[in-house]
Structures are given as structure tokens and as C-alpha cells.
Structure 1
Amino acid sequence: LSHTHTHLSHHRGTKRGLIVTGYVLFQPTVHIVHKSNAVSPLFLSFERVYIVTWNVGSAVPPDDITSLFGPNVSDGSVDMFIIGLQEVNSMINKRLKDVLFSDQWSELCMDTLSPFGYVLVASQRMQGVLLLVFSKFCHLPFLRGVQTESTRTGLGGYWGNKGGVSARMTIFGHPVCFLNCHLPAHMRNLEQRMEDFESILQQQQFDGGTATGVLDHDVVFWFGDLNFRIEDYDIHVVKSAIDSNKLPLLLERDQLNMAKNTESILEGFNEGPLKFPPTYKFDVGTHTYDTSAKKRKPAWTDRILWRLRRTGSPVPSHNAALQRGLTSWLGGATKVTQRVYRSHMGYTISDHKPVSAVFSLHFPFRVDMPLVVLQVNKEWCKVSDATVRLAFASTYQRSSWDWVAIYKVGFRHHKDYQAYIWAKGEHLTQVTFSEEDMPRDDCEYMLGYYSNNMNSIEEVRPFLFCYTKLEKPFLYGPGFSTQNHCHVKTGEETSSNCRKDHTTWVRTRGT
């Protein structure tokens, strides 16, 4: 292989790769499977995709939600975090400066995950329904074509308190869709739930590629407050079954389980065993099921399912996990395996408990090369180090809205840059940052290339900025220039004095 992409592992003291605030970049293990004396295609795996769904009941976020993301949040072993929330308080918090992420829950999730090297790659909100997709920064070049959609189903489609929000992208070249839904409540509205889900699937369409609809994607994850209830049994029977741990008795009358046998729209959707008690409805601030006058019957309203696109190719029949319903295959050997499915009963701010699941995704090795490569010195200690050389794959479609940015390690999203440069020009081969935009500390940073067409960061490259070693003319010269470099003041779009080597210059954030 001429190139494999870098993975992130949390180690200190290792000499295998470049250390970035405790994280080490190293080459992944590429599995080659031999069968019938032939080598099968190479495979890449995301061993941990962590999905959370939680109806937060308009509550103010707690101070700390680290435990919600499992025991591995700090060691870098999770590849992606996908967070689906419902009933987020839709009042805009005017104290937040960044209007792009204007709710406290988004801020809290970024505050929790970004210090561990996770970057927000997609965000979609429809009133109280919120979807956040985070990825380890080293995977960013292989998450492409990011798009989001939303569908209102409340009040006949005019109100967004109910409905679905989604984010789709390709992972190693394979289309994957994450769909967070809040479906109609109450026992009697089973048919309405199914109609709304079908409406969401029909209305959500994406641009370009072969996967234009939700179900066209190789893998779909469907989760949220789906609001399915337990039929037939009264509240006393349900609570007694929960207390005596007779959950299978209740699962037989779970509306979603029964609907999977009768509703064609649910064909192909899989769910792991529900081994935890119903996650709704609790008295807020307690672990006690509803004692109000309404006395809502406990139910598994909060669910996480997955689906593989239909194919005519045969799947293995010998796999034990497949027999237990934990693994599903797509022809061509795309595989999804659920590792964990659990609730988080310790959270009491809402009448719902959070639910999470961990999946492994196993893909045929379709994409192994980044579209953009940034070449830069590992340390910036002199003037020439501020020049970044660019190389593009022949298939990459440039946009005049692409940019190269300096990010501090632990950056939150693609606009959380220290400075950026427009990467304009069909024949652009390098860009150079000006002295005003150099960091003022000896710290670890990253360069990132943002693709406007892909709506994603296509390359990340760490470097160390040596402020104390930096040449003084570069650091302080207001009009610094050399024979090979020139400086364009902040806010200027072009420079007629730049040498003809397709060098472009920086614009700082806010200009």
C-alpha cells in the first residue's frame, strides 16, 4: 500500500508516532482475509461507533455528562460519537457568542468531547430535535459528502416539535446515514408513528451520488424517542414485571417489536436485545416510574436500530453473532455488529433515561487515499515554515470557497480556527500565513484543509509552533517581505506583489 490513513491512540512515551497532547498518530492494522487460496479485498473497520439517544425534556444540561459517553471516552478508542437529543429547549441562549451552535447541549457535548480529539463534523437541529456527529480528527479525511436534512411532522407537517433530522456521509467511500426521530406519543398513535416515519423517509433526499434517499445508504442508524408503547398489560402488571425482571413478557407486547413483523417499512431494521428496563416515564429527579395523576405506563420509547441496504448477495450463515441478531451483513462484506446496548439510569434531569449503543463497522477497502495532502514542517520556527504546500488527487473538485486553516489541538468544529487562507486558484500549489496570524505560544496546532464541495475537512496535519524560537522579523515586522515572500494585510483579498508561484495569503477569522 502506498498510503494508509492515520489512527489516533492515547499513549504517552511511545516512539511510534508524533505525540499530540497525549495522542499518538500511527498506522492502522489492515486486515487481509485469505479464502480459497485467494486474497480477499482489504477491509477497514470502525471498531467503536457510539450512539446516544436521549429525550432531555427541555432540561438545562447537567454540569458533567462524561459518563454518558462510556468508559472509553478519554482513551481515543471510540471512532465516532453520534448524539441524538429530543425536546431540547428551543429558546436561543443569547449569552452564547457562536450563533452556529446556539444551544447549551451542543456546547456541552463539544466541551466534553473536543479535549479528547473529537471534532463535530455534522450538526442538524429542528426545534427540539438535535443531531450531533463527532469523529476522531484522524478520520476526517475519510468522512466525505456530509449533508444534513430535517422533516417536520408535527401539526400535519407544519411544526417541528416532532419529525426527524439526519446526517449522511461516506465513510471510506461507503454511504452511511444517521437518523434521529421524535415520533408521536401515546398508545393510540401507533399508526400515526408509522405514517410519520414513512413520511420522513420519503421526504429526506440528498444531493449527488447513488444514495439519494435514507434507505439507499449502505448502513442506516435509526434512533430517537420513537414513542412505541407496551400494549395490553395495565400499569400494575408492567411495573410488577419490571420489578421481577420479567422483561421478555413485556417485550412480546412492545409495539415496535410487533410492528416489525407487519410493517413493510420496518423490513431490514435490526435491534439488539433489550436487557434494560423501560426508559420512560420517570418522575423527574428520581428513579421512580411516573406517580403523577396521568400514571403513564413504563415503555421502551428510546431505541437504537440499524439497517443494511438490501442486496442479492448471500451472507455468511455460520456466524454465531448473526444468529443472535447482533450482526448483519451486506453483500460485498460490509458488516455491522452491535457490541453494547444499554441505558443510563443514573441521569434524572428528564422523565426519560438516556440509551446508548456501540457498533463495529466493517467495510471493504474502497477508499485509502486522501483527496488533499498538506506538506508542512513539523515545527514552525522560521519564516519559511509558514508556507504550506498542497497536493490534490486527480479526482478532487476544487472550489474557490475551500480554505486552509490553523487549528489548535482540541478544536471543536471546522470553523473553530485560529486563522484561515482561501485556497483559490485552479493551479494553486501552496499558501503562506502572515505574521499577524501566528500563534503566540509554544503549543501544538493542526493545519486543516476544508472542502466546500464535500462540506468536510479533507486533511489534517499536526505541527508544533515554536514561539520562543521564531525569527523576530517574522514575528514583529509590520510590512515584512523577502525576495520570495510578501505580506498582505488583514482583510485584503489579493496581492499584486506576490511572486508567481501561486502563493496565496491569509485572512484572519472575523474579516
Structure 2
Amino acid sequence: MREQVMWPRLVASKIISKKLATSNFVADFPRSPESCLHLPTSDHDPVAPVILPENQKTQNYNIFVSTWNVGGVTPTEDLNIDHLLDTNNTCCHIYVLGFQEVVPLKASNVLGLEKKNVSTKWNSLIERTLNKKSRTNDLSLKATKSNSESSDLQDDFRCLISKRMVGLLISVWVRTDLYPLFQNSNVSCIGCGIMGYLGNKGSVSVRFQLHQTSFCFVCSHLASGGGEGDERNRNTDATEIFSRTSFPTTKGPKRILDHDRVVLLGDLNYRISLLEKETRSLVNKKAWNRLLEYDQLRMELNDGQFRGWHEGTIDFAPTYKYLPNSDEYFGKNDETKRAPAWCDRIIWTGDELKQILYARNECKLSDHRPVKAIFSTQVKVSR
């Protein structure tokens, strides 16, 4: 069968030749045309740097962050993510979108044998959604605004950086007029999957500097499994990600936790440590606080792998596992059992990050629901 793909000698030799402590093994294939995309918007004139008042020492920014396991489903032309980004009601300065399983995690994809322009499709959808409002209103606004107000028109977005490793994709978009303020952007990929190195599980991290403040966003897909003790595998993956991720040291921090502000987003796969029957009963009662007492990630946040990290209030239903195109959880009608869980999470560490939204979205594309957050952050202004 096509699924039973022979392991390429190149991949096998790379894995065998690496010591377990090696931190610089990149688990995807960087020569792939879609593996790393810098997508400046081509239909804009060069943007001059923003000039701030001379006495201004800090600047406030809003950052949108989302995570979505799309279950290997490629976006169609008519897929609508307006409700996820919600730009009509909440327009942010920075958008960070993380995806898991943008391709099915079959052997041929994990080994890099199939080339698909899936990153381009997702980025095109993001660009179209973010810039829909500005394109619709552009001509009428320019006709009514004076030259002194022209800076207010620069509310469209361009891609700062996008990176894919197998099924993981992270894409960072910034307001066009702010683009010159972003410096030292880099990516780092860590595979924690098959044999501890391949990219069916792991992370894609991006970092940049805004004024004098460094940011790092880590899009992760940790080990799955709802059995007893499986959370230890997830903790091990997290440890590997933090210890092995390394950025160029010419400018900016080298390690994830060296950055001023860090956000971890993804299908972290932590489950609820209760019997399935009791879990489903509490879900039906919407007893979120009771369920969260047994949530594995909350335990790690309180006194474990992620002690010192923060997460907003969860007042929404578990995001996994749903029947496709349905509001029903998988396993309700005699399917193979899979208890509901908050697998999809966004947590953060660092000063001057204030979360002002934490919610799930109701898109039914896959067996996961997307999760989104909005942060307000204050940064020191460069002089």
C-alpha cells in the first residue's frame, strides 16, 4: 500500500548520526518551497517607519493568537474564517495563527515525500480575511480622509514570517505601517515524533523584536494519548522543545525562555484525568470548574512542567473530540471511546502581557475547535 513508505536513506542516516543531545536537527526539509515563506504584500508602496512623539517611552499593542488542529483538511476557496479573526469587532496590530495537522500525518507526509502548497493556501486565506475590510473601504476612505489623516488608512496587513514543518504551520501577520518596526525575525523547528526526531509531533517557533522587546511564539503538537501516564510523554516533548530550540545568536536571545514574552500555543493534547463516563456527565452539565480540577495541563501549570506560566479563564466547552461537521462529541453513539478534553490551549509567560480574550471558535472543519486569545502588551520604544 502507498501508506507503507520505505524510509529514505537520507532521513535514516540523519537520525542515526545524531546524538540524543543534539539540538540543531531540523525535522522538516527546508529546501521545500513552502517550508519557509516571507510574504511581503506586493501591491503596496514601501512603508516609512512610524514616527512616535519624542517624549513617548512606551507603546501599547494588541496581539491576536489562535491555535487550530485542522485534521489534515486543506482549506477550500470558500472557507470562511471571518468569525475566527473577527476583524470587524476587534482589530489587532499583530496576528499569530498556529495550525496543527495541515497535512494528514501519514508516513509519506512525515518523511517529506509529498509536496503540497498547503502553506500558501492557508496564508492566502489569512491575507484575504485580514485585508478584506481595508480593501472594501479603501477607495471611499481615501476620498474622504485628508492627507494629515492618511496614516490611519494603513490598517492592512502583511506577512512577517510563516513556517511549516510537516503538519505544523505558524504564520505571523503585522499591520503594514508597523512592518519596519519588527527586527530579528527567525524560526526554529524541533521534531519530537517518530524516533524522537521526526516532525509529526514537535514545534515550530518564531521570534522577533518589536522596539526593544523580544517575543517568541511556539506552535506545538505534543504527544497524544488518553491513557494513564500519557501526560508524561507530553511533558517530555515540552522539555525537548525548550531545551533543543535554538535561534541564531547574532542578534536577539538564543533560547525560547530567554525572550521577554513567550506564548505557547497548540494542540498540547493534555486530557482530563477522570473516567470517561464522569467526564461526559460533567461536560453535559457544563461544570467547567469541576472538570478543570482534573485537567492535566492545569496541574502542570500549578506545580509541574509549566509552573510560572499563565492561562486565562476557561469558560468554554472542551475543544476535542468532535464528529466532523457536528456539534456532537465523538464516542457518544458507540464509536471508539474518546473522552472530551481541552487539548487546544494558549499559555504565556513574561511581564507586561495582559490577556483580554480567551475563547473557542465554532468552526466545524475538523474534530477540534479553534481557540483564540487577544493580548495587550506594552513595550519600550526604541530611541
Query: Which residue of 321, 339, 342 maps to 1:297?
Result: 339
Q: Which amino acid aligns with 2:295?
A: D
Contact 1:30 1:43 in 2 (8 A): no
- 2:181 maps to 142
How far 1:286 moved relative to its partner? 0.2
CA distance in 1, matches of 2:50, 2:243: 41
Give the whole-Å Cα distance in 2 for the aligned partners of 1:164 and 1:290.
Answer: 27
User: Are 1:212 and 2:254 an aligned pair?
Assistant: yes
Structure 1 equivalent of residue 372 of structure 2: 356
1:138 to partner: Cα distance: 1.0
Distance change (3 Å), C-alpha of 1:154 and 1:112: same
CA distance in 2, matches of 1:339, 1:74: 17
8 A Cα contact 1:151 1:164, kept in partner: yes
Give distance in 1, aligned partners of 2:157 and 2:266.
22
Corresponding residue number in structure 2 for 1:130: 169
CA contact (8 A) 1:31 1:43 kept: no
- Paired AA for residue 156 in structure 1: M
**1:233-255 deviations in whole A, cap 9, x for unaligned?**
x2232222122221100000000
Contact 1:93 1:102 survives alignment (8 Å): no
Please state whether the residue corresponding to 2:72 is helix, strand or coil. Answer: coil
Superposition deviation, residue 106 in structure 1: 2.6
**Which one of 49, 56, 74 corresponds to residue 70 of structure 2?**
56
* Aligned partner of residue 269 in structure 1, secondary structure: coil
* Residue number in structure 2 paired with 1:344: 361
Matches within 5 A, 1:247-396: 247-263=288-304, 265-291=305-331, 293-308=335-350, 329=351, 335-345=352-362, 347-365=363-381, 367-368=382-383
Alignment of structure 1 residues 227-238 onto 2, 5 Å: 227-232=269-274, 234-238=275-279
Instruction: List gaps (5 residues or longer) in structure 1.
Output: 1-19, 33-40, 309-328, 330-334, 369-511
Normalised TM-score (structure 2): 0.73
**1:205: how far off?**
0.9
Shift of residue 356, structure 1, vs aligned partner:
0.3
Larger helix share, 1 or 2: 2
Indicate the SS of the match to 1:130.
strand
Q: Tell me the distance in 2 between the aligned counterparts of 1:204 and 1:307.
A: 17
C-alpha distance after superposition, 1:153-208 (max 9, x if no partner): 00132321100001000011211000000000112311111111111111111112
Distance 1:140 1:159, change over 3 A: same
- Structure number with greater CO (CA < 8 Å, separation at least 6) is 2
Name the structure where strand makes up a greater proportion of residues.
1
Does the 8 Å CA contact 2:96/2:172 hold for their aligned counterparts? yes
User: Is 2:246 aligned against 1:202?
Assistant: no
Bigger Rg, which one: 1
- Contact persistence 2:185–2:208 (CA under 8 A): yes
SS in structure 2 opposite 1:340? strand
SS at match of 1:122: strand
**Normalised TM-score (structure 1):** 0.56
Aligned equivalents of 1:273 and 1:156: distance in 2? 36
Q: What secondary structure sits across from 2:369 in the alignment?
A: coil
| Cα pair 2:49 2:180 within 8 Å, conserved | no
Quote the residue 1:67 is aligned against.
82
Q: 2: CA distance between counterparts of 1:352 and 1:57?
A: 8
Query: CA 1:210 to 1:83, structure 2 compared with 1: closer, same or farther past 3 Å?
Result: closer
Unaligned runs of 5+ in 2: 1-42, 135-155
Whole-Å Cα distance in 2 between the matches of residues 44 and 221 of structure 1?
20
Give the length in aligned residue pairs: 303
Corresponding residue for residue 19 of structure 2: none
Task: Determine the C-alpha separation between the residues in 1 that align with 2:90 and 2:322.
Answer: 33
Per-residue deviation at 1:93?
6.5
Q: Contact 1:225 / 1:303 at 8 angstroms: preserved in 2? A: yes
Q: Which residue is equivalent to 2:201? A: 162
Q: Is the 8 A contact 1:165 1:180 kept in 2?
A: yes
